[in-house]
Amino acid sequence: MSFVQRDRSYWLRLARLALVAVTAGVAGTLVGSGVMSGAIYAHNLTHPGCQETGSTPSDMGITGAQDVTYHGHDGLTLRAWYVLPQNGVVIILLPGLGGGRDGMLRAGAILARHGYGLLLTETRSCAHPEGLSTLGYEEAADLVEMVTWLRARSEVAHVGVLGYSLGGVTATLGAAQDDRIEAVIAEGGFYDLAADICNKGKRNSPWENLVYWTVMLAFRIETGVDAREISPIAVIDRISPRPLLLIYGELEAENAHPGEQLARAGEPKELWIVPGCWHGGYLDVAPEEWEQRVVTFFDNAFLDKEVIPTNLPISQLAN
């Protein structure tokens, strides 16, 4: 009888150990899956490469565009198209994640028709040998270099920025650093990278939190930048007293917190929520209103000023 009892006890212990091992294996698999998912997501996010389509300014009716290059903050050579201004004002056009210099041609064509000069630039990941993006951190430093490049030109009196998605984030971060950027339009940018990655404000499962934590860690490993340092809402107040226009689609607004950004920003400021629109469809959903709002914004920012190229020699200014 004792032998039978010992035998049953042995098998029960063995079953419990097996159950623990299986549970640990499943947990380990889930953890490993979460870590792998986060790492893959972070790598794809930070290595978007270049999504250049091959379109040219002439395809959109933009005439006189010049092929130019300029150097980013670390010496990286970036390509752009430059269109001379008719009114002394150049608008820097910043495309979304992985965008080529053709990413903002449609918007550029509208502005060019109204006399504005253009600098249509590619994103940093198009020029980087590994296709790397820092989601706005180094891109903002490159934007400062673009402004320096433009202000060295005698025909440029004023500089504004229009950016979409990552370009909108870059526009906000860069304008917070450089007051030579005199007017800013930011379309569809995230409000805080860390909050966006971690789905802040939502009830996340432990597995989801593991994935988000891994993305944060992998982002830092991939870029050398802490995602918490990339926060438009933390610096948006530094743009004032220069004018700011935020544009978001109605269907993306909940996650982007445009109302909170507007509340943080100083005057003058505007917010346009495009009805029935998702991320990036602003010109498709409301082309006439987009043109009216954007052109009026820049006209009000610049054309009530005496638009004289400030880099001209004093002898020319006197004339």
Q: Are strands 77-83 and 66-71 parallel, antiparallel or unpaired?
A: antiparallel
Same domain? For 151 and 259 the reply is yes
- Calpha distance 208→109 (Å, rounded): 43
**What is the pLDDT at residue 282?**
97
Tokens of 249: 């689609």
224 and 267 together in one domain: no
Co-location of 211 and 240 in the same domain: no
Q: What pLDDT score does 202 carry?
A: 74
Q: Verify that 146 and 237 share a domain, yes or no.
A: yes
**pLDDT at residue 313 in the model:** 38
Indicate whether 262 and 172 sit together in one domain.
yes
Q: Is 137 found in the same domain as 72? A: yes
Among the ranges given (93-102, 221-230, 251-260, 300-309), the one the predictor scored with the smallest mean pLDDT: 300-309
What pLDDT shows up at residue 207? 63
Q: 212 and 178: one domain? A: no
Residue 170 pairs with which residues in a beta bridge? Answer: none
| 226-238: average pLDDT | 97
The rounded distance, in Å, linking the Cα atoms of 191 and 223 is 19
What is the distance between the alpha carbons of residues 49 and 137, in angstroms, rounded to a whole number? 17
pTM assigned to the model = 0.85
Express each pLDDT in 5-38 by its tens digit. 455 554 444 444 444 333 434 334 434 554 677 7
**Each residue's pLDDT tens digit, 109-151:** 999 999 999 999 999 999 999 999 999 999 999 999 999 999 9
Based on the domain organization, do 10 and 112 belong to the same domain? Answer: no
**Beta-carbon contacts of residue 136 (< 8 Å; ≥ 6 apart):** 166, 169, 170, 173, 193, 230, 232
Between 275 and 5, name the one with better pLDDT: 275
Burial class (CB in 10 A: 0-12, 13-18, 19+), 49: middle
CB count, 10 Å around CB of 115? 15
Mean pLDDT, rounded, for 296-313:
69
- Half-sphere exposure at residue 7, Cβ-oriented, CA atoms within 13 angstroms: 4
Q: Are residues 33 and 22 in the same domain?
A: yes
Closest CA to 87 of 56, 112, 108, 66: 112
pLDDT tens profile 197-207: 988 877 777 86
Q: Pick 274 or 5 by higher pLDDT.
A: 274
Residue 318 has pLDDT above 60, yes or no: no
pLDDT at 7: 57
Write down how long the chain is.
319
How many domains is the chain built from? Answer: 2
Smallest Cα–Cα separation from 167: which of 212, 132, 133?
133
Mean pLDDT check: name the lowest of 133-137, 238-242, 281-285, 314-318: 314-318
Question: Quick one: 91 and 210 in the same domain?
Answer: no
Whether the pLDDT of residue 156 is over 70: the answer is yes
pLDDT at 310: 41
Q: Look up the CATH number of the domain holding residue 123.
A: 3.40.50.1820
Instruction: Give residue-wise pLDDT tens across range 158-196.
Output: 999 999 999 999 999 999 999 999 999 999 999 999 999
Q: How confident is the model at residue 316 (pLDDT cuts 50, 70, 90)?
A: very low
pLDDT digits (tens, 9 = 90+) for 42-101: 888 999 999 999 999 999 999 999 999 999 999 999 999 999 999 999 999 999 999 999
Strands (DSSP E) contained in 84-225 are 89-94, 117-121, 158-164, 181-187
**Does one domain contain both 188 and 267?**
yes
Instruction: Tell me which residue range forms the domain holding 10.
Output: 1-46+195-229
Residues 6+ apart with CB under 8 A from 1: none
Same domain flag for 144 and 69: yes
